[in-house]
Amino acid sequence: MGSVHIPSPAEIEHAAALLRAGKLVAFPTETVYGLGANALDVDAVARIFAAKGRPGSSPIIVHVSDMDMVRRVAAEWPATAQSLAQKFWPGALTLVLKKQSAIPALVTAGLDSVGVRMPSHPVARALIEAAGLPIGAPSANRFTQLSPTTAEHVRQGLGDRVDYILDGGPCTVGIESTVLSLAGEVPILLRPGGISRSQIEAVIGPVSQQTTASAEAHPSPGMHPRHYSPRTKLLLVRNGQVPDSGMGAYLQLHQPPKRQVRDIVLMPSDAAEYAVWLYGTLHQLDSQNYDWIAVEAPDNSPAWEAVCDRLQRAASDMK
């Protein structure tokens, strides 16, 4: 998956200075690469939307490096947030909380809440700390395309739309953070991700599922059906049932394909391991000009919730 690269302190300082100057910096996190800008600077945040081609109705996660910064971003810190942060921060969990007024409406798509995440990746932490600013960052891909898990994916997807790319090697979680709202009466899981629902429920008790109605009231890019897609048609299949015509690749979990295919990728049978490899594998196959990519659908058991969510969004029948 590529070699680990540690940016020098000078590179980190250069990237931090660009962020302070309102520029865009792509940086590694443990989940996926983020496209970062000063979350307090509305012009800088507007550049994120322009670079991604992302509609303004999609709120952006604000990344912090310490609890002082959390207080600059979130106006409320409920006991559930404290318990979850103690257990899962820094890490792949985004908490949606009532926002401070200093956070521009563009960051939160006009909502009075803000998504806050303290990433664990050492490069992300060093960058945010050096910038001394909360950093707004969606995944560093064009809107609706696959999220990047290497610096090379960012280069291919965004090119010179980003002012600087910090290369911290491949991401170790591989899919986006779990997004949990603590801004309402009850905790709501807005997007399954790197921290599983059962891990969260073990700390704060049952969490609700987002309903379609609330999805419309609170626009979530992670909730767009057409999201995380490779350009190649992606099919979710069972029992090795790959298409009869055309040339393609097969992501195998347990069952071999029923007929010969150009490429078979044996995927890990552990959900977290599968997540690590998923986007990288799809990026790689997407560059092969196949007619289709057939993915053996995992059983939708709790451990596979996040992977199944991403596969369903990437599947072509959703478009």
Q: Are 192 and 309 in contact (CB under 8 A)?
A: yes
Sign of the CA dihedral 246, 247, 252, 257?
Answer: positive
Tokens of 120: 């664990």
The one-letter amino acid code at 67 reads M
Report the alpha-carbon distance of residue 313 to residue 315 in Å, rounded: 6
The answer to whether residue 138 forms part of the interface with ligand TXA (CB under 6 A) is yes
* Strand locations in 7-144 (E): 25-27, 34-38, 61-63, 93-98, 113-117, 135-136
In terms of CB distance, is 64 or 137 closer to ligand TXA?
Answer: 137
The answer to whether residue 149 forms part of the interface with ligand TXA (CB under 6 A) is no
Distances (CA, A) of 26 to 99, 131, 139, 302: 24, 14, 9, 32
The answer to whether residue 145 forms part of the interface with ligand TXA (CB under 6 A) is no
> Of 60, 180, 306, 311, which lies in the binding site for ligand TXA, with binding defined by CB under 6 A?
60
> Of 16, 18, 19, 32, which lies in the binding site for ligand TXA, with binding defined by CB under 6 A?
32
Report the alpha-carbon distance of residue 137 to residue 284 in Å, rounded: 24
In the complex, the residues that contact Mg ion under the rule CB under 5 A are 139
Residues 237-266 that bind ligand TXA (CB under 6 A): none
Residue 96 partner contact from Mg ion, ligand TXA, none using kind-dependent CB cut-offs of 5 to 8 Å: ligand TXA
Residues 176-235 that bind ligand TXA (CB under 6 A): 176-177, 179, 190-191, 218, 220-222
In terms of CB distance, is 80 or 145 closer to Mg ion?
Answer: 145
Positions that interact with ligand TXA (CB under 6 A): 29, 31-32, 34, 59-61, 94, 96, 108, 111, 113-115, 117, 137-139, 176-177, 179, 190-191, 218, 220-222
